[in-house]
């Protein structure tokens, strides 16, 4: 049976059979009206995604299974560029279940009360109001973006806050690192893996999880 997709249309190549492919965010019942209003308030510095960005498989990336014993995510998958991408390019939105959470991860704390706290796919959208985007159970290609550690010297991309003018809603996206003042971002070459930094907090929380599991 093919993997589920929300709405008609094709699936990206190598999409896993056990995870629905979504083309717009899914909203958790945990969101209150105050979460909703903060989701719909445009931050002054958020990058507005192009109004014509297509919904569905992103032509700029390919999800690729990793079969390389020296890659730290060997046996998993990663996200690779299908063409040269300039510094600052918006690649694709990070889609998943938007949820309320006392401690969204890709951050520093875990909590047993939070069903998303141990997810490896939960990205913080709004720390102040406790809103996260969890792609553990459903998502798009962005969920396959790996961290640069052990793979490259530095990240070539970043998670950036965006504003979706069509939905009038905040979100997160994977973007090529900008040139910056020091000209740090050099762009991404066709065939290169797209790598962000999850932040030290992610790996610290993961180590704590592993130690707790080892203690059981
Ligand atoms: C958001 S997922 C990334 C996609 C994942 N590789 C997959 O195929 O589903 C995060 C998980 O990927 C793995 N990962 C990502 N970057 C890594 C790295 N630099 N070193 C080791 N594992 C990594 C870890 O298992 C992490 O919990």
In a domain, 211, yes or no: yes
DSSP 141: G
* Tens digit of each residue's pLDDT (9 = 90 or more) over 43-100: 999 999 988 888 999 999 999 999 999 999 999 999 999 999 999 999 999 999 999 9
Distance 214 CA to ligand 1 centre (A): 20
In a domain, 13, yes or no: no
- Residue 148 CA, closest ligand 1 atom number: 19
Distance 50 CA to ligand 1 centre (A): 28
In a domain, 66, yes or no: yes
How many structural domains compose the chain?
1
Closest CA to 140 of 1, 26, 50: 26
* Residue 151 falls in which region: left (phi positive, over 0), alpha (psi -120 to 50) or beta: alpha
* CATH assignment of the domain containing 50: 2.170.270.10
Residue 200 — very low, low, confident or very high, per pLDDT cuts 50/70/90?
Answer: confident
pTM: predicted TM-score of the whole model, two decimal places: 0.90
- Decide if the complex's ipTM is over 0.95: yes
* Tens digit of each residue's pLDDT (9 = 90 or more) over 178-195: 987 665 678 999 999 999
Q: State the DSSP H helix or E strand holding residue 63, giving kind and residue range, or none if neither.
A: strand 61-65
Which structural domain range is residue 47 located in?
26-215
């Amino acid at each position: 049976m093919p993997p589920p997709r929300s709405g008609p249309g094709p699936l990206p190549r190598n999409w896993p059979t056990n995870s629905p492919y979504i083309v717009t965010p899914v909203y958790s019942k945990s969101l209150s009206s105050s979460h909703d209003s903060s989701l719909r308030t445009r931050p002054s510095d958020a990058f507005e995604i192009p109004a014509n960005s297509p919904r569905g498989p992103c032509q700029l990336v390919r999800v690729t299974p990793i079969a390389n014993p020296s890659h730290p995510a060997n046996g998993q998958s990663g996200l690779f560029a299908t063409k040269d991408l300039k510094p600052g390019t918006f690649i694709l939105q990070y889609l998943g279940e938007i949820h309320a959470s006392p401690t969204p991860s890709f951050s520093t704390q875990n909590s047993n009360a939070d069903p998303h706290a141990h997810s490896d796919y939960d990205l913080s959208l709004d720390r102040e109001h406790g809103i996260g985007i969890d792609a553990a159970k459903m998502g798009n290609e962005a969920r396959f973006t790996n961290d640069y550690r052990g793979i490259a010297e530095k990240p070539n991309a970043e998670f950036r806050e965006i504003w979706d003018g069509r939905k009038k809603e905040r979100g997160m996206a994977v973007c090529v690192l900008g040139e910056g003042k020091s000209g740090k971002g050099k762009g991404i070459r066709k065939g290169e893996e797209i790598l962000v930094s999850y932040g030290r907090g992610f790996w610290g929380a993961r180590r704590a999880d592993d130690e707790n599991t080892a203690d059981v």
